Structure 1
Amino acid sequence: MPEVIFPLDSGKRFDDQQKLGHNRWHPEIPPVATVKPGDSFRVDCREWFDGAIVNDDSAEDILNAPLLSVHKLSGPFAVEGARPGDLLIVDILDVGPIPQEDSGPLAGQGWGYTGIFAKNNGGGFLTDQFPDAYKAVWDFSGQVASSRHVPHVSFEGLIHPGLMGTAPSADLLATWNAREMALIATDPDRVPPLALPPDAEQAVLGGVPRDQWARVGAEAARTAPPRENGGNQDIKNLSKGTRIFYPVFVDGANLSVGDLHFSQGDGEITFCGAIEMGGFIDLRVDLIKGGMETYGVHEHAIFMPGRVDPRFSEWIAFSGTSVTLEGEQRYLDSHLSYQRACLHAIEYLTKFGYSPEQAYLLLGAAPIEGRLSGVVDIPNSCSTVYLPTAIFDFDVRPSASGPFQIDPGIGAPRAENR
């Protein structure tokens, strides 16, 4: 096992650990450890809410989830010799739930969760159709997940970090804040908001001197979106065996990681759409000096995905076009067309006995594939969502005999939007 350079004690809150991580991006957050090119090491990660979501049959915790406190990131880790303009090579050697802890109160101790977030507290891809908070708890049996809240399905997880990235420079941070504040200004009262501005409340800033937390917290970027440094990309294929090339913007690169997922569908469509968990990740790092210019990677990581995907041979696919539910034509709107494809999949699954919310949770957690299938045929963009048929314990294909009727069980817990 590689050396653990960021250990977490499951009996303590994230903020009370031996080494303190962070939940904002800022170039002044100092590294908690330094590694050398070629080093391999292990990092423990806490799930993004640090234990606020529990294993029960209520969604009140999702309704009241403390979004200002996320994400709980392990790091930063400096890489010796890294300079702005380099490419940081990160190999994911292994990743999984909390080792040797198959039961307990923390997500990652034998279980994880998926949430539909309330429209006034995060929302989601389909928040207008699903404005209330719901939750599904998933139990792990080796590599397989199943849920009492979404019965009759089980699938192998494609375990991956939802969030990993390098620190921004001061100039890059200022660029983020300026462009996101300009977007917010176009509709400042929108619910959910168009973007999340810096907010010092509940900021965790690692080794920044405490007398500087108010200033740094007021500048530091929230970790919710993906940006030029990587960040919260939520790419399910960043799994074991993946090699990622991150742009370096500060001395040392200052790599951070967290938000581990046991499984996820393309898009993480419920916002907390993956199966969230804590766990461990083993990494190896190296450098390509001057690689940003050499390979034209001035922003946003490139990666070579691992080869551990669950293998499915049969799928049922749903398509959608860029026409709103009210019949308004939009021009090549791929975001809208993927929404429509997902809504068609949800409606289809309800014919077998699932509630719409159970179907929505399933599409977020299961290894669905989302694709841009046509982006040039004006005026309609066409998107598709592929659902593997083997995850169901009944025949989900259309037939002349009609849809098999399942017992939906206790259903997905709901907390009404207040």
Structure 2
Amino acid sequence: MPEVIYALDSNKKFTEHEKLGHNRWHPEIPPVATVKPGDDFRVDCREWFDGAIKNDDSAEDILNAPLLTVHTLSGPFRVEGAQPGDLLVLDILDVGPIPQEEGPLAGQGWGYTGVFSKHNGGSFLVDQFPDAYKAVWEFRGQTATSRHIPHVSFEGIIHPGIIGTAPSAELLAKWNKREGDLIATDPHRVPPLALPPEADHAVLGSLPKDQWQRVGSEAGRTAPPRENGGNQDIKNLSKGTRIFYPVYVDGANFSVGDLHFSQGDGEITFCGGIEMGGFIDLHVDLIKGGMETYGVAENAIFMPGRVDPQYSEWLAFSGTSVTLDGEQRYLDSHLSYQRACLHAIEYLTKFGYSPEQAYLLLGAAPIEGRLSGVVDIPNSCSTVYIPTAIFDFDVRPSADGPFQIDPGIGAPRAADNPNAG
């Protein structure tokens, strides 16, 4: 096993550890450890809400999820010799749940998927699903099943939702300017258009506490993907993947976290992967001057691993850029993917699933999402591919009509949403 350079004790809160990680992006956050090019090492990661979500049959914890505290990132890790303009090369050697543990933390043999309330983050289909729902998944080896979504099981494509390098001060200022300008176009929107810096709940590693208010008021929130990588939620960044990240500061200062046991393309319920804590084994290297040499001035490029489950048959649903009210939009791929997802959800309800169960399933299972047409004006076309083998019944259309499942206890819904309406 590679050397553990960042360890987490499941009996302690994230913020109680001597080596403290962080939940914001800022160039002044000090590294927790230093590695050299050519090193292999292991990093422990905590589930993104640090244990706030429980293995139970209630969605009240999803309704009240503390979004200001996320994400609990492990790092930053300094890479010896890394300089701005280099490419950081990360190989994912292994990644998985918390080893040999069962308990109350996500990753200790279980994980969860959540649909967020419109008034606490929302989701990709927030207008159709404004309330909070949850599904808990149990792990058996590489396979996930859920008491909240019966008759399905699938192998997880385990991956980190977040890996990113530290931004330079100039890049951070660019983020804050453009996202602030976007917020100003509709400052009272629910959900908000973007998340501005927020100092009160910032965790900034070993930075001196008298600097936390200043740095926290500048630091980038970890919710969106940006030039440095960050919260890209790419399900194929699994074991065997090689990723090339741009370096913006001396040492690169990369961080990792937000592990998922599985996820559908797009993580459409917002908390759409199967969230968990666990470990990740990495190999690190550098390509000196690689950003200019390969034209990678922003955003990572990667070579996916080869551990995806092998599905041979899919049921695919398409959608176009026309709203539910019949309004034509011009090549709106976001809308066309929403419509494809809604078509898949409606189809699955014909077999006995509730819409919420079907939505949670699309967020968690290894569905494939594709931009299938982006040139045929005025309609963009997107498609959603569902592997038929994840069901224990025949989900294909037939002359006999849809098989009727027992939906079981269903997906828990938050009973009291005082902000709903």
User: TM-score, normalized by length of structure 1?
Assistant: 0.99
In 2, the alpha carbon distance for the partners of 1:2 and 1:142 equals 21
Amino acid at match of 2:103: G
Q: Distance in 2 between matches of 1:179 and 1:39?
A: 37
Cα shift at 1:295: 0.3
SS at match of 1:415: coil
Query: Paired residue for 1:100?
Result: 100
2:359 is paired with a residue whose SS is helix
Counterpart in the other structure of 2:40: 40
Whole-angstrom CA distance in 1 between matches of 2:18 and 2:84: 30
What is the distance in 2 between the residues matched to 1:30 and 1:175?
21
Say whether residues 1:308 and 2:300 are aligned partners.
Answer: no
Q: Which amino acid aligns with 1:35?
A: V
SS of alignment partner, residue 139 of structure 2: strand
Tell me, what secondary structure is at the counterpart of 1:120? helix
Matched with 2:49 is: 49
> How many angstroms apart in 1 are the aligned matches of 2:164 and 2:57?
34
SS for the counterpart of 2:118 is: coil
Aligned to 1:285: 284
Name segments (4+ residues, structure 1) moved above 6 Å: none
| CA offset digits 1:94-133 (Å, max 9, x no partner) | 00000111x1000000000000000000000000000000
- Correspondence list, 1:133-148, <5 A: 133-148=132-147
What does residue 20 of structure 1 align with?
A: 20
CA distance in 2, matches of 1:245, 1:314: 32
Report the 3-state secondary structure (helix = DSSP H, G, I; strand = E; otherwise coil) of the residue aligned with 2:335: helix
Tell me the residue number matched to 1:119: 118
Distance in 1 between the 2:206 and 2:172 partners?
A: 19
Separation (CA, whole Å) in 1 of partners of 2:32 and 2:390: 41
Displacement of 1:387 after TM fit?
0.3
Deviation at 1:403, TM superposition (A): 0.2
| SS of residue paired to 1:219 | coil
- What is the CA-CA distance between 1:39 and the residue it aligns to? 0.3
Counterpart residue number, 1:232? 231
Equivalent in the alignment of 1:389: 388
* 2:316 equivalent to 1:317: yes
Q: Distance in 1 between matches of 2:305 and 2:106?
A: 24
Mapped partners of 2:331, 2:295: distance in 1 = 28
In 2, distance between residues paired with 1:274 and 1:308? Answer: 17
Aligned to 1:206: 205
Uncovered stretches (5+) of structure 1, i.e. residues with no partner: none
Report the AA paired with residue 154 of structure 2: F
Describe the superposition over 1:246-300 as per-residue Cα deviations: whole angstroms up to 9, x where unpaired: 0000000001000000000000000000000000000010000000000000000
Task: Quote the offset at 1:18 in angstroms.
Answer: 2.3
Instruction: State the alpha-carbon separation in 2 of the partners of residues 131 and 330 from structure 1.
Output: 23
1:91 matched to 2:127? The reply is: no
State how 1:331-342 maps to structure 2 within 5 Å.
331-342=330-341
Supply the AA of the counterpart residue of 1:240.
K
Deviation sequence 1:9-55 (CA, Å, 0-9, x none):
00000000121000000000010000000000000000000000000
Deviation per residue, 1:326-366 (Å, 9 max, x gap): 00000000000000000000000000000000000000000
Distance in 2 between residues matched to 1:301 and 1:315, nearest whole Å? 29
Aligned CA-pair RMSD? 0.4
State the distance in 2 between where 1:17 and 1:96 align: 21
**2: CA distance, partners of 1:152 / 1:100:** 27
Match of 1:249 in 2: 248
How far 1:207 moved relative to its partner?
1.1
Q: How many residues align?
A: 417
Instruction: After superposition, give the CA deviation of every residue in 1:174-198 in whole Å (9 maximum; x if it has no partner).
Output: 0000000000000000000000000
Aligned residue identity for 1:294? T
Q: Alignment partner of 1:399: what SS?
A: coil
Which residue is 1:350 aligned to? 349
Note the C-alpha offset of 1:201: 1.6
Which residue in the other structure is 1:215 paired with?
A: 214
Tell me the distance in 2 between the aligned counterparts of 1:357 and 1:78. Answer: 43
Shift of 1:76: 0.2
TM-score (norm 2): 0.99
Query: For 1:172 and 1:30, how far apart are their aligned partners in 2?
Result: 18
Distance in 2, Cα, partners of 1:47 & 1:193: 24
Distance in 2, matches of 1:177 and 1:40, equals 35
The amino acid of 1:95's aligned partner reads V
